[in-house]
Amino acid sequence: MDISGIFPPIPTPFNKEEEIDYVKLKENVQKWNEIPFKGYVVQGSNGEFAYMDPDERVKLVEKVREFAPKEKLIIAGAACEGTNQTINMAQKMASVGADSVLVATPCFYKSGMTKEALEMHYIKVADSCPVPVILYSVPANTGIDLPEEVIVNLSKHPNIIGLKDSGGNITKIGSVIHRTLKGRFQVLAGSASFLYASLSLGAVGGVCALANVLGREVCKLAELHKMGEHEKAKELQHQLILPNTAVTARHGIAGLKTAMEMFGYYGGPTRSPLLPLKQDQIDDVKHIFEPFL
Amino acid sequence: MDISGIFPPIPTPFNKEEEIDYVKLKENVQKWNEIPFKGYVVQGSNGEFAYMDPDERVKLVEKVREFAPKEKLIIAGAACEGTNQTINMAQKMASVGADSVLVATPCFYKSGMTKEALEMHYIKVADSCPVPVILYSVPANTGIDLPEEVIVNLSKHPNIIGLKDSGGNITKIGSVIHRTLKGRFQVLAGSASFLYASLSLGAVGGVCALANVLGREVCKLAELHKMGEHEKAKELQHQLILPNTAVTARHGIAGLKTAMEMFGYYGGPTRSPLLPLKQDQIDDVKHIFEPFL
Amino acid sequence: MDISGIFPPIPTPFNKEEEIDYVKLKENVQKWNEIPFKGYVVQGSNGEFAYMDPDERVKLVEKVREFAPKEKLIIAGAACEGTNQTINMAQKMASVGADSVLVATPCFYKSGMTKEALEMHYIKVADSCPVPVILYSVPANTGIDLPEEVIVNLSKHPNIIGLKDSGGNITKIGSVIHRTLKGRFQVLAGSASFLYASLSLGAVGGVCALANVLGREVCKLAELHKMGEHEKAKELQHQLILPNTAVTARHGIAGLKTAMEMFGYYGGPTRSPLLPLKQDQIDDVKHIFEPFL
Amino acid sequence: MDISGIFPPIPTPFNKEEEIDYVKLKENVQKWNEIPFKGYVVQGSNGEFAYMDPDERVKLVEKVREFAPKEKLIIAGAACEGTNQTINMAQKMASVGADSVLVATPCFYKSGMTKEALEMHYIKVADSCPVPVILYSVPANTGIDLPEEVIVNLSKHPNIIGLKDSGGNITKIGSVIHRTLKGRFQVLAGSASFLYASLSLGAVGGVCALANVLGREVCKLAELHKMGEHEKAKELQHQLILPNTAVTARHGIAGLKTAMEMFGYYGGPTRSPLLPLKQDQIDDVKHIFEPFL
């Protein structure tokens, strides 16, 4: 499976009662369908998967599969803390049409998440999963940076096809690409902030929160790199760092949803305990994204 | 509700298929019933709650309530990532007999877990919970240390009665006790390693993994403090640090279950991705606990 | 050498040109001499030793030795990054009258500061030092927490007599005391915030920034513990946490100097790059210390 | 001053007594002179500056200036903890021929190193320094990552010409380049591990420990980037990550000196408390560098 390209990790639209609004979801997906994305990541961190019940998680994947054309890949976030829970979730997501599952590291019992425990977890999941597995390291949320050695070992598993790296350590990203089989194991940058640097080192694409808002610009950055337009790619990358930061580290998912509304998408509230932005934060988002309107 | 005293945060007994073994649970609880514990913490971190399905979590509480005499308090770990999920879980646990619920901080979206977000989360949970709520700060697992300011503010909520602090920052523990209403807001040390220091500063008891193994010794430490036998308390505290470390930071839940088997309890396996101890780790646990046999 | 008791880690008085003012130093020391301190720590972290030239550091020790009566112990902070530098500094400080030297962990090459490297460093220093050596762990400044194993090993060296622990991990403090020879190896709490807890576990005293301001109160806390007045000790400890935080973590050395001026000592400026407090910070210090005037 | 290009941060050669061996230094510099380096960084972190007396630091700069041809820039590491100390050091280094000074962040009083304190420190140093100042962020050693806002503000100072960034956060590196004046403020990658990614984002060169060993290869990487040979640059970058890691994070300065000896340079011992490599570590270095012999 070729996962090269750009994937927005789509947020989940809620109404004021914090219930999923599938109509809004459909409208958002239809709008995204016009952008040259490779596909969608559903129920990644930006999808607030941590606040979803298992049934909701599966139904969301089913619905996005329904709303997206067949050629768009659906990568479903299947992470649970337990290994068996993760296997069940991955199987269900595959059964409703996910082309691949993205599995973040378990993280609650941090001291127990040794290299060996992480490796065994992924092997068991990959062994039982009907679709290919993508590893997912997102230390800002989990407190765990999937070790390079574990990634290299797991890259040899026939059902593990890649890594989404949201840690952004460019040395590690380069080293992983160098040490894994070219064409077999595919690395996706987990953020638009280090997308161009990752592509320069051999990453095949990116899963970028910013692509939910500025999808065309993020796709263009990947395209410029592909065409060898390095000077233009560098300039565009420079311009995307601040807006990307605004919808990730700086203002989180509420910031992402606020920015989406500026560009005609439905944003809506987050689920509690995440809070809505305050007025000065909203103003900051607006100020940062205005040049792109 | 008076929560002064010692509570073991009981582990969940699994069989080889990683399924809950309620017969073994009953045997363990019956054995613990003979020790002067104030009650039990069910589905705390040591209960592997992160690997349980919601139904399992509730049923475990129901069963322990059934196996324990009425005078033992049942404190149920009700933490989920989402606020509504937590409210649902707390209500269900109360409905099956939990006397109080223990709510660990949500932690996945770390940058979103501001003081305000944490405070709102606990207020909503406490407002909707039919039994008293105990705050729970366990940074080794969550990466989040519930801020002192938030604790002090929440201590005024009529349905929030205390804090289990597993961070072990004795300065913070002392300051929280000083700044909250004596007799109203009760602090429990989250580990036997700093139990005596916490009691010295005004904590009312402890939730101590070690109490699952050396319940009488941990209760004796609290009793010595109560009776003003400070020299003896100090000596006993000294002796308990190493065994406590062995069943927490050093060997985790698998270490705890290994030690329990030395003392006639059922330990059994952990759920995956947690791994069983290796032989040298088993030997280390045995070496450390032998003097207490 | 018996180091049980309270030691203020005295700050260095500077004039507006950031030069050392020995007249003010003398006045401060004379005022402190009336308090039942065991002695003084000169050129600890609060002494801004990092901003002193080697000659200044030695002269300060010489002067405090001159201004203090013979029965007060002078413990001189002799830490340098290099082992040979530290040996030279320790020897010079001994030659001008230091009774003991306090040696913070080297810290610049963090990845090189392995257990073995730290142990060898202290052994070399202790072997060459004409006066007893006290280990010093201050992770808030150094980023290095001297490992328990290293402390236990070093406690057997005939010229290493104790530890000043400013990390405040009460479990580690208790464990170190338990594992080292009683009466031989002496532990000092590095802060008034965890002084009573440390004493309860067997520490012999404290080196407390707060003692520069509220010397009598800190000495009284140690005295209450000694006399077995645990309830009163607890109450006093509670009252001292906030003022102690104000002159350490919250407002640093500039906060300490500001508070000293409220109580008739000379505070004066810090050396650059440390900045003076802003007005709202000064107000905060005043508000916190007013009840003690 | 144009600082584009590659600079080895040269280590200091010691004899068995840990004294500086100027003969070996001369031999090393003469060998490096034949490589197309832009110049040398003397007394950076790899120069063990933390273990040098002030006079040694200045003399080393003087000697390297003497041994290097005029067209090679000498950048001298002038960092001290105190502002006045740093000013004195910078002035002395300029007086013996340093073309520029590199100033690492002060770091001992971490909580006092606010944005404002760091900014004031650099302004005072830059105001008083007769040669241009280069900012230096090296969080692995200092525990302090010079904040982007501070860098952007300081980039407007007429005597501050650039930044050596050893943190390796490629998002920050890109953002700093985007937000500072092109052609005026120059960013150097602080490690060969992220050199190509940094160049791709607009960095002008690198200060790379690995250049002490594989100088031609590191220079070639920069050259390939300059010529737009991105595929070849990527491949070479991949090959240099592991050897670079071996002489930095993995085996530190002792690893660097060991590798240097494989390539005909004098390595020699480090100063204590840094320890020499053990045999298995030496073997690891040899194994990693053999392909480059």
How many other CB atoms are there within 10 angstroms of residue A116's CB atom? 12
Beta carbons of A166 and A190 less than 8 angstroms apart: yes
Q: Indicate left, alpha or beta for B48 from its phi (over 0: left) and psi (-120 to 50: alpha).
A: left
pLDDT given at position C63: 98
Q: For the purposes of burial, counting CB atoms within 10 Å of the CB of D23, is it exposed (0-12), middle (13-18) or buried (19 or more)?
A: exposed
Q: What pLDDT score does B158 carry?
A: 98
Question: DSSP 3-state helix, strand, coil percentages of chain A (rounded to 5)?
Answer: 50, 15, 35
In the numeric block, the tokens 């003979």 are attached to: B34
**CATH number, domain containing residue D150:** 3.20.20.70
Residue A196 belongs to some domain of the structure: yes
Whether chains A and C touch (3+ CB pairs under 8 A) is answered by no
Q: Please indicate if any CB of chain C lies within 8 Å of the CB of D280.
A: no
Burial class (CB in 10 A: 0-12, 13-18, 19+), D160: buried
* Any domain includes A239: no
Q: Measured between CB atoms, which of D120, D253, D275 is closest to C273?
A: D120
End-to-end CA distance of chain A: 35
Task: Name residue, tokens 């770091």.
Answer: D107
Q: What is the predicted pLDDT for the residue at A80?
A: 98
State whether B201 and C201 contact (CB < 8 Å): no
Out of C178, C191, C196, name the one closest to residue B238 (CB): C178
In a domain, B236, yes or no: no
Q: Which of B124, B142, B272 sits opposite A121 (nearest CB)?
A: B272
| Contacts with D17 (C-beta within 8 Å, 6 or more apart), sequence order | none
The residues of A that are catalytic are: 136, 164
Residue A25 confidence (pLDDT)? 98
- Residues of D with Cβ-Cβ distance to A170 under 8 angstroms: 168, 170, 194, 197
> Is D28 within 8 Å of D266 (Cβ atoms)?
yes
Domain contains A254: no
Does C221 fall in a domain?
yes
Number of structural domains found in chain B: 1
Longest dimension (CA), chain A: 49
A207 assigned binding-site residue: yes
| Yes or no, beta carbons of C230 and B230 under 8 Å apart | yes
The answer to whether B271 contacts A84, with C-beta atoms less than 8 Å apart, is yes
Query: Mutation test of the interface with chain C: which of B165, B169, B170, B239, choosing the one with the most C Cβ atoms within 10 A?
Result: B170
3-state secondary structure of A265: coil
Residue A163 and residue C96: Cα distance in Å, rounded? 62
So what's the pLDDT on residue A53?
A: 96
**Residues B47/B9, Cβ–Cβ less than 8 Å:** yes
Q: Which residues of B touch C245 (CB under 8 A)?
A: 171, 175
Q: Which two tokens stand for residue B109?
A: 């979206």
What residue type is assigned to position A231 of the chain?
E
Provide the phi-psi class of D266: left if phi over 0, else alpha when psi is between -120 and 50, else beta. beta
From chain C, the residues in CB contact with D272 under 8 A are 82-84, 120-121, 124
Question: Whole-angstrom Cα distance, residue B193 to residue B247?
Answer: 11
Residues 6+ apart with CB under 8 A from D166: D45, D136, D137, D138, D139, D140, D190, D191, D207
Q: Are D87 and D125 in contact (CB under 8 A)?
A: yes
Give the pLDDT means over successive 10-residue stretches in chain C (293 positions).
98 98 98 98 97 97 98 98 98 98 98 98 98 98 98 98 98 98 96 98 98 98 98 98 96 98 98 98 98 96
Query: Which chain C residues touch D143 with a CB distance below 8 Å?
Result: 110, 143
Nearest to C174 among B169, B201, B237 (CB): B237
What residue ranges of chain D have pLDDT lower than 50? none
Longest CA span, chain B? 49
Q: Residue A250: is it exposed, middle or buried by C-beta count within 10 angstroms (0-12/13-18/19+)?
A: middle
User: What average pLDDT does this structure show over B64-84?
Assistant: 98
Structural domain boundaries, residue A108:
5-229
CB contact under 8 A, C194 and B170: yes
In a domain? residue D91: yes
Residue B258 lies in a domain: no
Binary contact (C171, B241; C-beta < 8 A) = yes
Range A160-175 average pLDDT: 98
Averaged pLDDT score across all residues of chain A: 98
- Partners of A83 on chain B (C-beta within 8 Å) are 271-273
Which parts of B5-144 are beta strand (E)?
Answer: 5-7, 9-10, 39-42, 73-77, 100-104, 133-137
CA gap B107, A144 in Å, rounded: 13
Cis-peptide, bond into residue A273, ω within 30° of zero: yes
- Give the per-residue pLDDT at A74: 98
User: Is the ipTM value over 0.90, yes or no?
Assistant: yes
Cα gap B124→B93, rounded to integer Å: 17
Distance set, CA C278 to CA C258, C281, C282, C285, D149 (Å): 11, 5, 6, 11, 21
Tell me if residue D149 falls in helix, strand or coil: helix
Active site residues of D: 136, 164
Beta carbons within 8 Å of D158's beta carbon, 6+ residues apart: none
- Position D271 scores a pLDDT of 98
Residue C169 lies in a domain: yes
- Helix, strand or coil for residue D213? coil
- Across the interface, whether the CB atoms of D117 and C45 are under 8 A apart is answered no
Q: Which amino acid is at B70?
A: K
Smallest CA–CA distance, residue B184 to chain A, in Å, is 26
Do residues A276 and A269 make contact, with C-beta atoms less than 8 angstroms apart? yes
